[in-house]
Amino acid sequence: MRDVNRSTALWDRLKAARLIALISPRTSQECVAAYEALAPLGVTLEIAFRTEAALEGIRTVRAKHPDALLLAGTVLTATQAERAIGAGAAGVVSPDYFPDVVEACIRHDVLCIPGGLAEPGKTLVQKAALLGVEPEELRARHPYQWVYKLFPAMTGEHGQLETARAWKAVYPGLAIVYTGGVTAENVGRIAASDPDGIVCASALTRHVDDPARMRAEAERWLAILGSGAAAGGGAGRAVAEPAAAPAAAAVRPEPPAARPLVVTFGEIMLRLAPPGYQRLAQARVLEATFGGAEANVAVALSNLGLRARFVSAIPDQAVGQAAVNALRAHGVDTSHVLRRGSRLGIYYLEHGASQRPSRVVYDRAGSAMATIAAGQVDWNAALDGATWFHTSGITPALGDGAAEATREALAAARAAGLTVSLDLNYRGKLWSREKARAVMTPLMEYVDIVVGNEADAADVFGIRAGQTDVGAGKLDVAAYEAVARELVRQFELKMAAITLRESRSASDDRWSACLFDGTDFHVGPRYDVHLVDRVGGGDAFSAGLIHGLVTGKAPKAALAFGIAASCLKQTIPGDFSLVSAAEVEALAGGETAGRIQR
């Protein structure tokens, strides 16, 4: 079968079932197993070029099933495209627009699906030019080239469905492949928004070791796609999520390889809070959301445009699954979450106002994460592909087993060559200052960058900042240079960052931060913040600082980005930071008036 005929056949298959299963194979036999389970359902298998087994996987499937119609995914170069086509791929998918890849595919007249969030015009024009037709003729004469991938499709609160509609208005009939953050819970919204849209997800192959379960999951997705809006979020009907497979059998999602991956490790909890400013004693209704320091960092990083993977222990029951779904909704990779234990930790939050402070009550003893132990997480797999690892002092405070698991994670990250950051996050309701110092001090040998608030260094390590009176909201800002320098000196760190909250009341703060980068000391911009929800503000700062540094900003600019990210988060209800990098850059660049964006 010639390539052009195979691409046409593949295109017909994609239009019929509208479902692609993405796999990052550990072995070529995983590709065979996935293909044999899913192909009879009409589902197309995309084999991601993220592992050494990918190319051999295509060859092995084609050797056993000569008529197999496969996609090669995460193709970044023309050389990879040529190899994929030579191995038998009927189509090529890229995480971005790479002109050399498009040219290689067109040379063989093979289905080519570039993608991202950039406007698809450049790709379509290049395809038309290479094929010797006008752009408006491309759709009619080469329909399998009139396609583009939207990635990430479903990160953030509402995803990028409006972007897809705008593209289709400019390029009528454009076929869009939706991938990134797509789950069984939101695929119905995609189907309702774009009845012809094609969906791609790695969740379809996470049970690759259990073909029957993999087929059942695919059948569920096909049913949702077939029912369109009836199964979508707009109709308000939730779709049940099956129990997750053990972490060892999970297949990791496939975001664009060009984006750095940050792994975080900690506990996510159910948050219960009275509406508005009611006290717990008077509330008859509690609002349920989810949050936790490292989970908050992962969500913030994903919304800022990086890849984020959250490692934790969460019970395999309805509340635990709701927590996992909350993370997945923001594009966070949960494939290395252990499903264990019987309960999810809970915290109750009473919002303060004016001179009445906010209060937190913990109910997390005996939670899945509090009873975790070393040796339960496969850190080689969990850290695969990552450049950065982040955790906080809350995780080892959960118990001796959690402390040892934290040490194991930090050691693995250091051994793997990752940059390691740690937020001190002292919680007096979890452990004493003496216990915190005894546990945290030996952990610091694995840390590159430490983050803390204005009191953490004193609470954990006894390193105090001059005449600071945190309780009164009076900070000796200049003295924090000595604190940051001492942290770097004592623990041989690369950097130390300290958030500076001058609390005027429970409703209003002055917010800033400082950083010592091993050479220079920087004090960032200061913002007056009217607080909507201060919980998660420090986590948003950590995420912003990580984002700035991992994307190449100088320390001073990364500090400013972190401060702005945190400032914006504190204007949003809930633990999670739901702001984009563009919004943070706008604030950091001086747009502080809060005018309506029209």
Active-site residues: which are they? 539
**100, amino acid identity:** D
**Using CA atoms, how far apart are residues 69 and 83, in angstroms rounded to an integer?**
16
**Of 259, 263, 252, nearest to 305 (Cα)?**
259
| Three-class secondary structure of residue 366 per DSSP | coil
Strand 346-350 versus strand 359-363 pairing type: antiparallel
**Of 300, 345, 249, nearest to 30 (Cα)?**
249
| Three-class secondary structure of residue 140 per DSSP | helix
For the chain, the first-to-last Cα distance in angstroms comes to: 53
Q: What is the DSSP string of 52-104?
A: THHHHHHHHHHHH-TT--EEEES--SHHHHHHHHHHT-SEEE-SS--HHHHHH
Please give the helix or strand (H or E) that residue 198 lies within, else none: strand 198-201
**Of 120, 127, 123, nearest to 170 (Cα)?**
120
What phi and psi values does residue 44 have, to the nearest 5 degrees? -90, 135
Strand 44-48 versus strand 19-23 pairing type: parallel
**Using CA atoms, how far apart are residues 383 and 416, in angstroms rounded to an integer?**
8
| Three-class secondary structure of residue 69 per DSSP | coil
Task: Read off the tokens for 124.
Answer: 């379509």
**Using CA atoms, how far apart are residues 101 and 183, in angstroms rounded to an integer?**
28
- Residue 568, C-beta contacts closer than 8 angstroms, at least 6 positions apart: 540, 577, 579, 583, 584, 587
- Residue 529, C-beta contacts closer than 8 angstroms, at least 6 positions apart: 508, 509, 510, 511, 567, 570, 571
**Of 225, 174, 229, nearest to 19 (Cα)?**
225
Instruction: List C-alpha distances in Å: 539 to 302, 453, 490, 530.
Output: 13, 11, 24, 18
**Of 182, 310, 193, nearest to 255 (Cα)?**
182
**Of 95, 112, 172, nearest to 139 (Cα)?**
172
Query: Which residue do the tokens 């004090």 mark?
Result: 523
Please give the helix or strand (H or E) that residue 558 lies within, else none: helix 555-569
